Chain A
């Protein structure tokens, strides 16, 4: 891999491209995902953020230890969602989160395919030891994806965050070790 820290990252699967997003690429579609209640129901970020605020949000990822990777569907590189990744190299782990903003891609194994490529990068490219994810306990689709991909539920944080309706949300913590991922990949 030719990628160097600080450079935009590009990862590819059969059906998708994951690539570092620039603030200038915050378009109506991206803004719209933050206004879609169904999309944002399980996302721990404020709804209806204005374009300027989202541009600052995107610009905050440095492509060194933090990444905002837009997911583009092939063919045509149509944006359908994004990953956020925070790497803690001193501790050997990364936190990840994914949002599929285009509902047409829900239930089509999009997360499984794209996260597999991201996990290869984090474990093999960056040599991290562990990848974690946190998800609201009522986000059953995300729970399913984590379990199918070999993540283990390592704990439940009770009433950890407040949802968009003002109610408290319990959160599952999921974790996957490098050796567990390699075993699944047959390496």
Chain B
């Protein structure tokens, strides 16, 4: 799966260079992924998708893979 879109979106929310976002990036591995960055990420995802995330979707986001999967739907 091409996750460059997800990586750029996450990097923007975390305010870091996309090159610093590893393929296995998650809330457990990225120091910059804090609560405020998470708020920015959810807002960016909703802006991209043009709709509010469902509670089930929102609570499932904890890694780059999760973001890529959501964008690929």
Contacts and interface: CB of A to CB of B under 8 A. Distances in A.
Contact of B36 (A137, A141, A147, A153): A141
Interface string A144-187: 11011000010010000000000000101000000000000000
B59 to A, nearest CB: 5
* Residue among A140, A148, A170, A172 having the largest count of chain B Cβ atoms under 10 Å: A140
* Residue among B35, B39, B56, B62 having the largest count of chain A Cβ atoms under 10 Å: B35
Interface residues of B, number: 14
A106 B36 contact: yes
A85 interface: no
B56 to A, nearest CB: 7
Interface string B29-42: 00000111111001
Contact of A107 (B27, B36, B58, B62): B36
Contact of A143 (B34, B56, B58): B58
20 contacts: A106-B35, A107-B34, A107-B35, A107-B36, A107-B37, A111-B35, A137-B55, A137-B59, A140-B35, A140-B38, A141-B35, A141-B39, A142-B35, A143-B59, A144-B35, A147-B62, A148-B27, A148-B28, A172-B55, A172-B59
Given A141-B36, A141-B39, A156-B56, 20 more contacts: A106-B35, A107-B36, A107-B37, A109-B34, A109-B35, A111-B35, A137-B59, A140-B38, A140-B39, A140-B42, A142-B35, A144-B34, A144-B35, A144-B39, A145-B35, A147-B27, A148-B27, A156-B55, A156-B59, A172-B59
Nearest to A170: B55
A107 B34 CA distance: 6
Nearest to A109: B34
Interface in A99-157: 106-109, 111, 137, 140-145, 147-148, 153, 156
Contacts of A142: 35
Interface in B16-73: 27-28, 34-39, 42, 55-56, 58-59, 62
Interface of B: 27-28, 34-39, 42, 55-56, 58-59, 62
Main SS of the interface on chain B? helix
A180 to B, nearest CB: 15
A156 B34 CA distance: 23
Contacts of A107: 34-37
A147 B36 CA distance: 14
